[in-house]
Amino acid sequence: MRFNSYAAKVLVKRVLLIIGGGIAAYKCLDLIRRLRERDLAVRVVLTKAAQEFVTPLSVSALTNDRVFTDLFDLDDEREIGHIRLSREADLIVVAPATADLLARMANGIANDLATAVILAADKPVLAAPAMNPRMWLNPATQRNVARLAGDGIHFIGPNEGEMAERGEAGPGRMAEVPELVSAIEKLLSSKLSAGRLPLSGRHVLVTSGPTHEPIDPVRYIANRSSGKQGHAIAAAAAKLGARVTLIAGPVALADPVGVTVHHIETAEEMLEAVKEALPADIAILAAAVADWRIDAPAAGKIKKGAKASPPSLALTENPDILKTIAARNAHRPALVIGFAAETESVVEQATAKRRAKGADWIVANDVSPAAGVFGGDRNTVHLITGGGAETWPQMTKAEVAERLVMRAAEHLAKTQISV
């Protein structure tokens, strides 16, 4: 998979740091800062013993994320779970790796969250041992380390030097933070963690195209949406490794490669298909859903001369799919993105629409006839988030799609290790 330079720049790697119970645990606070400075996402598991040295509060202030401590915290097991904690990292770092942690790791023991996460790991694990020199040199520890190295665990340190205990010196000091950072960077850039794309493991749900609302079996009301933008978004998300479900209205476009497509016609069918496709990590609702449908479509073709005057069409409002999805408690996607097609005061109207619909982001575009957006290949958009509005330069719909899904991937990686 080739990344354009924008994609490469924002690719976020995720480190799961397991802090063990040793005096060197304090170094991990600095380690977290250094990793975050390098734009790495850091999530932390603290062992029970580690909490004697650093508090969950101080760690969480640095990671800007919750800290995980307990295997039997039912909420966590339901929402996150040790398997997911483990799966959703690119690298697991154990620091300080105490003699006790190494012994449990070497024997496949999983009697707390830290060891359960390590045992479930399918990613590289880096251990930074730290302990008293006699404990390190003890044949039992050496046996455990040799076994773990044989199992493919990576080690950094320990270094030689003065110990926290007065008068004790020898091998057992945890590697210094700069050494840890460079070992982590090396492992993250190595082949071991390659192959992971920014949206690997994510489910992205996209709506695209217009909807057709029947008047009778042969006539319908519709709009000028071509579906090009929505389809390009589905294709871009698939290229970034996501499992993509596209709910497409009637369009003259081929189904994007590697995407599961459900073809629907009406707004009500689109809403049903969207609900069925949940849960998803990201929902990008780009369809130009018809705001109204015919109250009572005729079962047979309405004949021209049947009445003295032309038939009048009574309309009913369609469900608002974006608003419905954004308001859900169960299975609300972590990131709900809507579009706003406006012909005047684009940013103002879209900002109001973001609030009114409960969307996280709104992609606003100018659809006045002069802008040539409907059916065209280029788009000038404004991204409206909780932080304000940013205007993107004019680009093709494919470029808008790539940039949008990369932004979404980056946002998810920063705000949560996963869904």
* Residues that bind ligand CTP in the complex, under the rule CB under 6 A: 207, 267, 285, 287, 289, 291, 318, 320-322, 338-341, 353
Is there a catalytic annotation at residue 64? no
- Closest approach of Cβ 272 to ligand CTP, in Å? 13
Numbers of helices and strands, H then E, in the chain:
15, 21
**Nearby residues of 10 by Cβ (< 8 Å), 6 or more positions away:** 198, 406, 407, 409, 410
* Residue whose CB is less far from ligand CTP, 136 or 361: 361
* Residue whose CB is less far from ligand CTP, 116 or 287: 287
- Point out the catalytic residue in the list 132, 138, 159, 223: 223
The amino acid occupying position 60 is S
* Residue whose CB is less far from ligand CTP, 140 or 327: 327
- Closest approach of Cβ 269 to ligand CTP, in Å? 12
Of 73, 50, 37, the C-alpha closest to 17 is: 50
Instruction: Please answer whether residues 15 and 40 qualify as being in contact, where contact means their C-beta atoms are separated by less than 8 angstroms.
Output: yes
- Closest approach of Cβ 329 to ligand CTP, in Å? 18
* Residue whose CB is less far from ligand CTP, 92 or 341: 341
- Closest approach of Cβ 337 to ligand CTP, in Å? 8
Of 352, 378, 355, 357, the C-alpha closest to 365 is: 378
**Nearby residues of 98 by Cβ (< 8 Å), 6 or more positions away:** 20, 21, 22, 49, 129, 130, 131
- Closest approach of Cβ 278 to ligand CTP, in Å? 14
Q: How far apart are CA 315 and CA 392, in angstroms?
A: 37
* Residue whose CB is less far from ligand CTP, 273 or 341: 341
Neighbouring CB atoms inside 10 A of 257's CB total 9
Query: Known catalytic residues?
Result: 223
